Amino acid sequence: MLQTAPKPNLTHWEERVDMAAAFRWTVKLNYHEAVANHFSLAVNEDGTQFLMNPNQVHFSRIRASDLLLLDANDPDTLSLPGAPDPSAWGLHGSVHRRCPHHRCLMHVHSVFATVLASLEDSNMPPIDQNTATFYDRYVIDEEFGGLAFENEGERCASMLGDPKKKVMIMGNHGVLVMGDTVAETFNRLYYFERAAETYIRALQTGAKMRVLSDEIAEKTAQEIEDYPGLAQKHLVELKLLLDEEGSDYAA
């Protein structure tokens, strides 16, 4: 990796580099939306201290050294210099306070996940390997209450108590993907968008779908979860590609 040396005044350098790579690749996949959307990563044991992107900086410019280090228990966060986006703070701060089992959070309005979130029934049946990956592993929020300021963030966080549910389909909004590491969470975000695209395009045919049995869907989902090193290798390869392009993400 062509990573620069860690900055002497910054902690959690490897995590910062992974986060920066995820931001850059999210742009390449066109999952981003202007200067909105946000990712975070818990860096202490109880999950209350976390890295997050700075307020309204385009994902394509975010570097490892740009990430904010925030404390979910600090009530003065939004009044401090360089404060985060208020809706990002409301959602991510609430989840990191209430749900230490979700270490990394990635929220986007990617096209197909958002289309899915806009349907009257936002369930995604297991019709192929990618959709089966998420069998019984998401929650659907059907009570969209506007921008994710603190009260809305707390409401969303209250639905995320089950560690098995790694995706929130945010009805009329977008998607929130969770995991233990940046690599795991980004890999899950990538495959959820692919799965949503497959399902939406299948709906567009108007033809009857061949839906997998509950048994095979669960078996497939568990096999994907147990597949060794898949998510980490995915991120390693993406960082190598960024390095080959001369990207400054790791600065």
User: Which CATH number does the domain housing residue 201 bear?
Assistant: 3.40.225.10
Q: What is the pLDDT of residue 1?
A: 42
Mean pLDDT of the chain: 95
Residue pair 16/43 in contact by the 8 Å Cβ criterion: no
Name the one residue in this structure whose structure tokens are 């210099």. Answer: 81
Q: Which long-range contacts (CB under 8 A, 24 or more apart) does 6-15 make?
A: 7/65, 10/64, 10/65, 11/43, 11/69, 12/43, 12/51, 12/69, 13/64, 15/41, 15/43, 15/51, 15/182
Residue 2: inside a domain: no
pLDDT digits (tens, 9 = 90+) for 1-23: 444 556 667 899 999 999 999 99
* Domain span including residue 80: 13-244
pTM summary value: 0.94
Give the model's pLDDT for residue 6.
62
Banded pLDDT at 33 (limits 50, 70, 90):
very high
* Cβ–Cβ under 8 Å, residues 38 and 85: yes
Mean pLDDT of the 130-157 span:
92
Q: Are 196 and 207 within 8 A, CB to CB?
A: no
Would residue 8 count as lying in a domain?
no
Residue 128 lies in a domain: yes
Q: pLDDT band for 234, please (50, 70, 90 cuts).
A: very high
Q: Residue 154 domain-assigned? A: yes
Residue 233 lies in a domain: yes
* Domain count for the chain: 1
What is the chain's alpha carbon radius of gyration, rounded to the nearest angstrom? 18
Decide if 169 is inside a domain: yes
* One-letter amino acid of 55: N
Q: Is the pLDDT of residue 101 over 90?
A: yes
Characterize the bridge pairing of strands 49-52 and 38-42: antiparallel
> Rounded to whole angstroms, how far apart are CA atoms 132 and 195?
8
